[in-house]
Every structure is written in C-alpha cells, then in structure tokens.
Amino acid sequence: MSENTEAILIRQIIENWAAAVRNRDVEAILANHAKDIVMYDVPKPFQSIGINAYRKTWDTFFAYTKPGVFDIQELQVVADENVVFCFATMKCADKSGTTDYIDLDFRLTTGLKKINGQWTIVHEHHSIPSE
C-alpha cells in the first residue's frame, strides 16, 4: 500500500472520530482506539490510560458541552506501513446556548499503529496554547 493510500485511510479515521463527537456517538468515538490507549487532555484528568478511562472523559465532556462544531481545521498525516503520526488544528464550539462556554481552538495529536491489520489509535493528545 502506498503512503498516499495509508494517509487517506488515516484521514478518514480521524474525520469519522470528529463526526462521532459532533453526533455524541460514544461507541463511534471509541472505534479504532486501542484498549490500552494513553490520552492527554486539556481538562482533568490530565492523563487517561485505557479505553474505559478514555470513555469517561467523553462522558464528562458531553455532560458539560453540546458540541455543534467539532471541526478539523487542518490535518497533517505522516504515515508508513505500520506507524502513523497525525497533528491537527481543531475548533470546538458549544451550541447549548449557555453563557459559560467559550469556543475553543485546540490542537490534536494522534499516534496510530497497525494492530492485526487494522489502524488503531494508541495515543491521543488534546492541547491549547498556554496563556
């Protein structure tokens, strides 16, 4: 498989993940994630290890946010046949009408590896610039 084909497959995985967040579809968010995923996030907990801990972060996110926008602004994919590194700029905007939510521009970094022939997200990192 060529590098371009791999990059296209990865881009679709990341785009499907963002669409799942917009649709509040937790099972689709978890798709393509390793059981032992490690994620670093902006709100607490700072580090989540394992798919169950990762799932809990989305329960918390959806308890406080109704994302109407969870969009990839720019996505770069560096891929070979077995390992992929992605970095993106993204926008999250809440459509709940609450006054305490501020639209957020953030960075996303993901690491994937091929496990049993399938691209699997083993690392995810959300970050915002420090003030």
What residue spans define the domains of the chain?
3-127
CATH hierarchy code of domain 3-127: 3.10.450.50
Give 1's pLDDT tier (boundaries 50, 70, 90): very low
pLDDT at 95: 66
Answer whether residue 69 shows pLDDT above 80: no
Q: What percent of the chain has pLDDT over 70?
A: 91
Answer whether residue 97 shows pLDDT above 90: no
Which of 54, 55, 29, 52 has the alpha carbon at shortest distance from 40? 54
Bigger pLDDT: 125 vs 45: 125
**Strand order across the beta sheet in which 83-94 lies:** 47-49, 33-40, 118-127, 104-115, 83-94, 67-79
